[in-house]
Amino acid sequence: MASDQERRELDEKARQGETVVPGGTGGKSLEAQEHLAEGRSRGGRKRAEQLGHEGYKELGHKGGETRKEQIGHEGYKEMGRKGGLSTTDKSGGERAAEEGIEIDESKFRTKNK
């Protein structure tokens, strides 16, 4: 549990627009982000119960296929390169920057049809 001082610091960051709670994107305070994250998590669990394992798996597959159509082969390939660089303590973007590896994120953007 975070101390009162830590919570005040996190709340100040949240009020400046930073996401300080995973899943709390959009919350304007620490408390708001905590509530958003909990609600989203609960909603995800409920949906998983409704669909069952196979339904949830199929939903993820369809989402991946849709994204692949949106960004095309090159974009998907570039996204995979970035993801392949990630480790447990660093994101793919952080590793790419540290190691001077060029990742063209413009390829990730949805193509206009």
**pLDDT for the residue numbered 98:** 93
pLDDT (tens digit, 0 to 9) for every residue of the chain, 113 residues total?
689 999 999 999 999 999 999 999 999 999 999 999 999 999 989 999 999 999 989 999 999 899 889 999 888 888 889 989 998 888 998 999 999 999 988 887 777 65
Q: What pLDDT is attached to residue 113?
A: 55
* The pLDDT of residue 101: 92
101 Cβ contact list (under 8 Å, min separation 6):
85, 95
User: What ranges in 1-113 are assigned the alpha helix state H?
Assistant: 4-15, 30-85, 92-99
Q: How much is the pLDDT for 1?
A: 67
Question: Taking phi first (over 0 means left), then psi (-120 to 50 degrees means alpha), and beta for anything else, what does residue 6 get?
Answer: alpha
